[in-house]
Structure 1
Amino acid sequence: MIGRRRAIAAAMLPVIAATPGASAFAPGVPAESGFPADLAERLEAGFRSGLLRPLHGVVLARDGRILLERYAPGPDQVWGRPVGDVDFGPDTLHDLRSVTKSVTALLYGIALARGQVPIPDAPLHAAFPEFPDLAADPARAGITVRHALTMTLGLRWDESLPYTDPRNSEIAMEQAPDRLRFILEQPVVAPPGARWTYGGNATTLLGALITRGTGRSLPDFAREALFAPLGITRFEWHARGPGAESAASGLRLTLRDLAKIGELLRTGGSWDGRPVVPRDWLAATATPAIGIEDGLRYGLHWYLGAHRAGGAAHPWIGAFGNGGQRLWSLPAAGLTLAIFSGDYDQPEAWMTPTRIWREIVLANLRLG
């Protein structure tokens, strides 16, 4: 749930002057950043105070230019397996955890535009004909792909327990002989569309539809359809076994490459002027489907909120992951913030990245 996923040695990396004709995400500081000149020092003050200690990395960009980039060494994990202390930097791969869910939803939108996956309003069980007994259940007849995209399936699911606990629904799913049957046979506890229930079950179903429709594994499809156009050449996607990649939590990227995903949201799905994610899919993604906790709303596998300034509400779109992994995009301000953190399975992991977003970025942002 959001509330659960709610003295650094490395010096701030120098910014790099933008090169004419470079990628739309060229590091560098524009002449007018819209932030105070001492923004970097304000971030450093947060580190010196100890309030930002769990962070592994921060990248803040505006209008395609990196304004701040800061890394810190610390203990890390790879899909739940401790790997000891890591000296993080621009080339270090890091777990996205549940930010993976939002990336998977972008892949679904690309596959949908190619006619390779069911439309959102298609009956969900029709896409899984190997379970005729479940498809015949009248209580499940109204479940559609859209309910998976909005996490409103109406099926029992509980990820409130730690991810080290086998009773956690996602862990139980990963250990089940058949992940898809485990998801689809869960008891119906609410009408589809009526209740938001956070869970990797919905994303696992989307991942299965992508792999079935495209005839390719998630990593292979992601490499061709999303990562290659963005110049992302290094990534990992963890799996329970061959062909069983975790669509919900298995992706690892560098922080700069995660920020590129945020840039796609800022530009309406284009990179260097070429469409990558359909603009209409991003528009649907940013359309609230249901209200959720903490006063936020949820679209198609992305969190939605607003920054209020100058008497107006400026919508943002975000992706959140266990341990404090975060990606925010505020398109009206041309803003992208990407954060890696090591607070895995800690109830207050949301606090540090949210403090940076609200108190360092938004509080110092000049709009207009």
Structure 2
Amino acid sequence: MDTMDLSPLTASIAPLNLRSCLISRHGRLVYDHYREPGTAAEPARINSCTKSVLSALVCIAMGRGQLPDAATPASAFFPRLAADSDPRKRSITLEHLLTMTAGFEWTEFGGLNSFPRMTKTPDWLDFVLELPLADDPGTRMEYNSGNSQLLAAALARAAGMPVARFAEERLFGPLGIEAYEWETDPQGVHTGGFGMKLRPLDMLKFGELYLREGEWSGEPIVPRALAVRSVRPFIESEEPRRGWYGWHWWSDSYDAAEDAAAEPGETDSQAADGGSGAEGRQAPALAYFFAQGYGGQFVYVVPSLDIVVVLTADKWRTDRPPGNVFRKFVAPLLAAELRRAVSAG
């Protein structure tokens, strides 16, 4: 029987004006909060969580032999990379696109402001492919929604159908996801890095799929080896982002002692107590991987506790919730559960 106490969460998130907060454990919904009654039925923007959905579709296509393996040069789909005057572009692989390490000169927002510039051009693929390289492929992560658009285009060509139709047949259909919306670029390619709308419960299903390493109702949807590989840390992100990046998935860990020590006003004894078991044994850090979208859209997967957490928000322009909702309000409760499990074990 699940005895995890989530009652403190309700009071904690009340002032945040979250659109939704859902938690499942062992495949069962154990906590659900919606700001408004109709929220559950309404698809809403998941922003860059779209990237993780695209990752799943890429893995499915690779498993079916429609896309080649991740080490394949991207020039197999975009020949101009091989013809470019910079020979380094020939070494860009599908995995470099998935891990944001292709090396293109890019700043998503601010600086070069590449993402808004791309979306204002008549051909997004041309815009990305013509960019110079700032780094050797595979050496540095630079968050880049242009990489995602290249992957979406490659998937559409390999599958011989629009990305959304492929999703309906191979991912959304099996998961029972029917209510969704998905934008396209000027050429009709579905947006790989953003532009999808889903319901919170369908986001939870997607997280459950990855908690089960690609399996749904006993059937393999995403090949297990690729599902596991896609969420594995590949490269560490740079400030101000934290965590590691995989194949369009993030990963990180929460250490109660470290986080408590970092909070102003915490005493050393409080910090130390946060990370130890009842009998003085140090609890392991709470490891998790997650899909992340601008403005508070998240799908967190915590394998050690068999838990999925979905957070959504829609007030980021006028009343933006803190970006660390999970780490500040949810992770401490999960870490306490992990400490209890260590003590009991």
User: What TM-score range do you get, normalising by the shorter chain?
Assistant: 0.7 to 0.9
**Is residue 367 of structure 1 aligned with residue 317 of structure 2?**
no
Q: Is the 8 A contact 1:93 1:235 kept in 2?
A: yes
**Is residue 331 of structure 1 aligned with residue 317 of structure 2?**
no
Q: Which residue of 2 aligns with 1:342?
A: 314
CA distance in 1, matches of 2:311, 2:38: 12
Alignment partner for residue 120 of structure 1, among 55, 62, 70? 70
Structure 2, unaligned runs of 5 or more: 256-274, 276-281
Q: Which residue of 2 aligns with 1:300?
A: 247
Q: Which residue of 1 aligns with 2:208?
A: 263
Q: Is the 8 A contact 2:298 2:311 kept in 1?
A: yes
Q: Which residue of 2 aligns with 1:58?
A: 21
Q: Is the 8 A contact 2:301 2:308 kept in 1?
A: yes
Q: Which residue of 1 aligns with 2:218?
A: 273
CA distance in 1, matches of 2:249, 2:13: 29
Q: Measured at CA, do residues 222 and 315 of structure 1 come closer, stay the same or move farther in structure 2, by a change above 3 Å?
A: same
Code of the residue aligned with 2:99 in structure 1: it is T
Code of the residue aligned with 2:131 in structure 1: it is Q
CA distance in 2, matches of 1:106, 1:154: 23
Q: Which residue of 1 aligns with 2:262?
A: none
What's the offset of the Cα at 1:275?
Answer: 0.5
Per mean C-alpha deviation after superposition, the further-off stretch among 332-341 and 177-186 is 177-186
Q: Which residue of 1 aligns with 2:325?
A: 352
**Is residue 35 of structure 1 aligned with residue 4 of structure 2?**
yes
Q: Is the 8 A contact 1:286 1:302 kept in 2?
A: yes
CA distance in 2, matches of 1:45, 1:275: 39
What's the offset of the Cα at 1:178?
Answer: 1.7
Q: What TM-score comes out, normalization by structure 2 length?
A: 0.84
Q: Measured at CA, do residues 349 and 159 of structure 1 come closer, stay the same or move farther in structure 2, by a change above 3 Å?
A: farther
Q: Which residue of 1 aligns with 2:30?
A: 67
SS at match of 1:263: helix
SS at match of 1:209: helix
Q: For each residue in 1:108-144, what CA deviation from the matched residue of structure 2 results, as whole angstroms up to 9, or x when unmatched?
A: 000011111132111112311266642x531312211
RMSD (Å) for aligned C-alpha atoms: 2.2
Q: For each residue in 1:37-86, what CA deviation from the matched residue of structure 2 results, as whole angstroms up to 9, or x when unmatched?
A: xx23x1221144x2x22x1001100010001100114xxxxxxxxxxxxx
Q: Which residue of 2 aligns with 1:139?
A: 88
Q: Measured at CA, do residues 125 and 345 of structure 1 come closer, stay the same or move farther in structure 2, by a change above 3 Å?
A: farther
Q: Measured at CA, do residues 214 and 358 of structure 1 come closer, stay the same or move farther in structure 2, by a change above 3 Å?
A: same
Q: Is the 8 A contact 2:74 2:81 kept in 1?
A: no
Q: Which residue of 1 aligns with 2:145?
A: 200
Q: Is the 8 A contact 2:61 2:155 kept in 1?
A: yes
SS at match of 1:120: coil
Code of the residue aligned with 2:4 in structure 1: it is F
CA distance in 2, matches of 1:127, 1:225: 22
What's the offset of the Cα at 1:176?
Answer: 1.4
> What pairs with 1:176-325 in structure 2 (closer than 5 Å)?
176-241=121-186, 243-293=188-238, 294-308=241-255, 310-325=282-297
What's the offset of the Cα at 1:289?
Answer: 1.1
CA distance in 1, matches of 2:292, 2:190: 19
Q: Which residue of 1 aligns with 2:261?
A: none
CA distance in 1, matches of 2:169, 2:31: 30
SS at match of 1:109: helix
CA distance in 2, matches of 1:230, 1:255: 14
**Is residue 110 of structure 1 aligned with residue 110 of structure 2?**
no
Q: Which residue of 1 aligns with 2:102?
A: 153
Q: Is the 8 A contact 1:34 1:367 kept in 2?
A: no
Code of the residue aligned with 1:357 in structure 2: it is V
Q: For each residue in 1:224-254, what CA deviation from the matched residue of structure 2 results, as whole angstroms up to 9, or x when unmatched?
A: 1101111111111122456232111011111
Q: For each residue in 1:152-195, what CA deviation from the matched residue of structure 2 results, as whole angstroms up to 9, or x when unmatched?
A: 01111111339xxxx63112112212211211111111111111
> What pairs with 1:73-88 in structure 2 (closer than 5 Å)?
73=36, 88=38
Code of the residue aligned with 1:157 in structure 2: it is W
SS at match of 1:58: strand
Higher helix proportion: 2
Identity between Structure 1 and Structure 2 (%): 32
Per mean C-alpha deviation after superposition, the further-off stretch among 301-310 and 120-129 is 301-310
Code of the residue aligned with 1:144 in structure 2: it is T
Q: Is the 8 A contact 1:56 1:88 kept in 2?
A: no
CA distance in 2, matches of 1:149, 1:188: 17
What's the offset of the Cα at 1:343?
Answer: 4.2
CA distance in 2, matches of 1:314, 1:281: 23
CA distance in 2, matches of 1:367, 1:127: 49
SS at match of 1:367: helix
CA distance in 1, matches of 2:182, 2:213: 25
Q: Measured at CA, do residues 345 and 173 of structure 1 come closer, stay the same or move farther in structure 2, by a change above 3 Å?
A: farther
CA distance in 1, matches of 2:61, 2:144: 22
Q: What TM-score comes out, normalization by structure 1 length?
A: 0.79
Deviating beyond 3 angstroms after TM superposition, the runs of 4 or more aligned structure 1 residues are 130-133, 307-311, 343-349, 359-368
SS at match of 1:189: coil
What's the offset of the Cα at 1:89?
Answer: 2.5
What's the offset of the Cα at 1:362?
Answer: 3.7
Q: Is the 8 A contact 1:152 1:192 kept in 2?
A: yes
